[in-house]
Amino acid sequence: MEIGFIGLGNMGAPMARRLIDAGHKLVVCDVRTEAALALGALGAEVATSPQDVADRAETVMASLPSPAVAKEVALGTGGVIEGKRIRRFVDLSTTGSRVAAEIFAALAKRRIVQIDSPVSGGVAGARKGTLAVMVSGPPDDVAAVKDLLGIFGRVFVVGEKPGMAQTMKLANNFLSATAMAATAEAVAMGVKAGLDAAVMIDVINAGSGRTTASDGKFPQAVLPRSFDYGFATALMLKDVRLCAEEARALGVPDKIIRAVLDQWEITNSEYGGESDFTTIVKMVENRAGVIIGGK
């Protein structure tokens, strides 16, 4: 199957690479020419714009950094909505349910089906094909791309309504963001009391406090002081902001969401959006007067 792929960043590039490795013919596009040419060297065709991609492929996937960029790629001048061949737009980005519904409605007027399919599992998961792939959309169209999405990881069809997969993704990433912030505070407390951080993580992972932060992020990126897990602070902040907006729109309790959002706002402000999201530990360390991990 010929597939279009737009957005070849930290997540998009390895996902596109997996499609090529699986034998699919790709048409790729990215604002960074060098990123597209790198896939071109592996056999992909390089397009000049999202519309150019949509002129060449019936199924177009996109992995983009923000709701604004996703809307521009889908609906803007030179966007996929102006493509002549496209029939399905599979959005792998995290945009929030309202943006997903807006894109769905606009594309439907051009007889293009938008399939909402955000992913979770980080860069390592994208490379290994172990992502959690959340999908919502019309059943027949979801069925048509399910095997393709399975190349990225385990596929979960969560509903038919536009944006349902986005709500699922935001719930997941809020829990991930909360685990990272809470584990940072818990370990900082223990270190200040005289406990060894590595021993704490071992105990937590053997007990009921185990989280994705203690199990993966702390051993791999915090205790060694590398802070290079592979996900930007700005992207985590974006996801928690979107979750807060979603909760507010739905009228559900959001006190914990707002508290966690505050911690990510501070981290982003003090260390910059390009910092690795494990840097939230440094923000906590600075206030606690301790260092977690290292020699």
Provide the annotated active-site residues: 169
Q: What's the CA gap between 274 and 234, in Å, rounded? A: 6
CB neighbourhood size of 140 (10 A): 8
Cα three-residue angle 177-181-182, rounded to 5 degrees: 115
Q: At what angle do helices 255-271 and 280-288 cross, to 10 degrees?
A: 90
Residue 15: both structure tokens together:
């996902």
CB neighbourhood size of 58 (10 A): 16
Q: What's the CA gap between 76 and 286, in Å, rounded? A: 43
Spatial CB neighbours of 204, under 8 Å, sequence gap ≥ 6: 183, 186, 210, 211, 214
